[in-house]
Amino acid sequence: MRLKFFKKFSAVLLVLLSLAQVDCSRLKNINFYSTSEEANFGKTLDKEIRKQYEILEDERITGFLQERGRKLAAFSKRPDIEYHFAAINSEDINAFAIPGGYCYINLGLIRVSETEAELMSVVAHEISHVVRRHSMKRLSQMQLAGMVTDIAFGGGSGSIKRTVANLFTATGLLYYSREAEREADHFGLVNMYESGYDPQGMVGMFEKLKAHQEGPDPGGWQLLFSTHPVTGERIENAKSLIATLPPKKDLVTSTPEWAEISQYVQEKYPPPKKPDEKEEETQEEEK
């Protein structure tokens, strides 16, 4: 283990010395990790995520996400790794992906998606973060800053727990730059189009997110605001990119399977009642 540490440390030192001679753009794309190391790191993180988050053990929903998600991944620019898709039993409207192709979709996001293309636009965006190795580049940058040496050099379970707990913080693994978010938008939209989904679904989801972001009642969208801040620029970028794509027939907006899943979610997992609704029920019972 000590020998492995010094080998890794020596490699980092050499990279640091070489980077002293290059511009900042190279720093943004630095990645110390191989695909196999990324896969192992993702597998370790996934085990901890499953301890800290309530994974929805529902074969019907999981099967749908696995089938649709792997279809998107097959048309991505990185189809050579094994992707995994799981639903989290949370009303927070969010989705995220960790290194190695592990993607998680909150039940709340499935609930608010009006079309299959809207939901898959978020999934495609997350797949693109994996494709572009944004988390691993982020980890490498954090390592250079001396923030995660315990993880990078084989730290214990405590460091993994802290990493999972801080995934979405300003210093977390999934806190991406605007450039990284633009890349995920671009490659995610193209991924949708190439796999047969109507890329307008991404525009629809962006517009919905922006409306809630600027509205008086953000509801459960706050986490998606922090990890996927939507601006008019991102919406216009998506529209402009769509305009450059060749016309394609039979692009999918929704399918009968999606209609069934959407209805199943509403019936099997009804949304929690709001405080005012609970108060009204209590008043009715007292009468």
- List own/partner pairs for 22-29 with CB under 8 A and 24 or more apart: 27/141, 27/144, 28/137, 28/141, 28/177, 28/179, 29/137
Q: What is the pLDDT of residues 237-266, one digit of tens each?
A: 999 999 999 999 999 999 999 999 999 999
Q: What is the pLDDT of residues 55-92, one digit of tens each?
A: 999 999 999 999 999 999 999 999 999 999 999 999 98
Which pLDDT score, from 0 to 100, does residue 143 have?
A: 77
Which pLDDT score, from 0 to 100, does residue 280 have?
A: 54
Whose structure tokens read 């973060």? 129
pLDDT band at 16 (very low <50, low <70, confident <90, very high): very low
Which pLDDT score, from 0 to 100, does residue 63 have?
A: 98
Produce one character per residue of 19-36: b if its CB has 16 or more CB atoms within 10 Å, e if not: eeeeeeeeeeebbbbeee
| Percentage with pLDDT > 70 across the chain | 74
pTM: 0.82
Whether the predicted pLDDT of 41 surpasses 60:
yes
From residue 242, give the alpha-carbon distance in Å to each of 184, 195, 210, 238, 239: 15, 14, 19, 6, 5
Q: What is the pLDDT of residues 266-282, one digit of tens each?
A: 999 998 876 655 555 55
Cα-only R_g, the chain: 20
* H-helix segments, the chain: 2-19, 24-28, 35-52, 59-74, 107-112, 116-131, 134-144, 149-152, 157-165, 178-195, 200-214, 222-227, 232-244, 256-268, 275-286
Spatial distance between the Cα atoms of 217 and 275, rounded to a whole number of angstroms: 14
Whether the predicted pLDDT of 187 surpasses 90:
yes
pLDDT band at 232 (very low <50, low <70, confident <90, very high): confident
- HSE of 143 in the Cβ direction (CA atoms, 13 Å)? 26
Which pLDDT score, from 0 to 100, does residue 134 have?
A: 94
* Choice between 93 and 124, residue whose per-residue pLDDT is larger: 124
Lowest mean pLDDT among 43-52, 167-176, 200-209, 249-258: 167-176
Q: What is the pLDDT of residues 189-216, one digit of tens each?
A: 999 999 999 999 999 998 888 887 776 5
